[in-house]
Amino acid sequence: MLPAPLPLVSALLLAALLAACSSTTEDRTAGWSTERIRAEAQDEMSSGAYDKAVPLLEKLEGRAAGTPLAQQAQIDKAYAHYKSGEKAQAVATLDRFMKLHPVSPALDYALYLKGLANFNDNLGLFSFISREDLSERDQQAAKDSFEAFRELVNRFPQSRYAQDARQRMTYIVNSLAQYEVHVARYYYLHGAYVAAIGRAHLALSDYQGVPAQEEALYILIQSYDALGMTALRDDARRVMDKSYPQSSFMSGGFKRRQEPWWKIW
């Protein structure tokens, strides 16, 4: 194959160079002060453009490295990720912040925000449409949320975020208990009585004083009865009569799913 003419080679090289230059993203923050970058990021967040705020906050974090302003940029970036629905990125940013700044005065807020990032509050809000609640979804996120809130409450009991964290912890515990009962009910209705007993016992032993315990006891009674285990059935019935003397389950059986008891935050 004959080599390309020299002018053609030069033209191709020039075209490639121009294409490379045109594809390079111009840094519009070049020459900006850290104060201006922060102001622009705040404006973007105030207008709800959290996705546009993130790169500005990343610039700010780099240029203000080693200062309180860089720490604030990290926290703000985590919040922007959270508001954008990028929960994994929010949690990763917060974990990095807490590792780098273990004595930061904003640590309580970081823990609170981490709990929020894993907390599925939208499901409660729209469950009247979907007929679902948090208990029937991914439980690991709920457990991670609980752990973040618990660490906040234990380490910073006087934090301004502690009371809300406690309320969310109650919601999560109730939801996790209801999940176990949801599974136990499924097993019972499909004739898997031994498995139903196991999940009902789990709800009763791991989650004390929660609304789901009433149904867990009812599932125990019905499952023991189906297996002909009358002594254990009667033991469970005595506990039910003492704990829930007016139990609607004993009078009416399983009910159509009720509206969830979630709290609007």
Contact 37, 63 (CB under 8 A): yes
What amino acid is encoded at 106 in this protein?
A
- Joined together, the tokens standing for residue 205 give 């032993």
Tell me what the pLDDT averaged over the chain comes to. 85
- Rounded to two decimals, the pTM is 0.75
The pLDDT tens digits for 181-213 are 999 999 999 999 999 999 999 999 999 889 999
The pLDDT tens digits for 7-36 are 555 555 555 555 555 445 677 878 899 999
Mean of pLDDT values over 169-174: 92
User: Which residue has tokens 């469970």?
Assistant: 236
The pLDDT tens digits for 153-169 are 999 999 999 999 999 99
Rounded-to-integer distance, Cα 44 and Cα 225, Å: 62
39-166 carries CATH number 1.25.40.10: yes
For residue 12, the model assigns a pLDDT of 54
- Most distant CA pair in the chain: distance in Å? 98
The pLDDT tens digits for 124-137 are 433 433 444 544 45
pLDDT band at 121 (very low <50, low <70, confident <90, very high): low
Q: Which residue has the higher pLDDT, 5 or 49?
A: 49
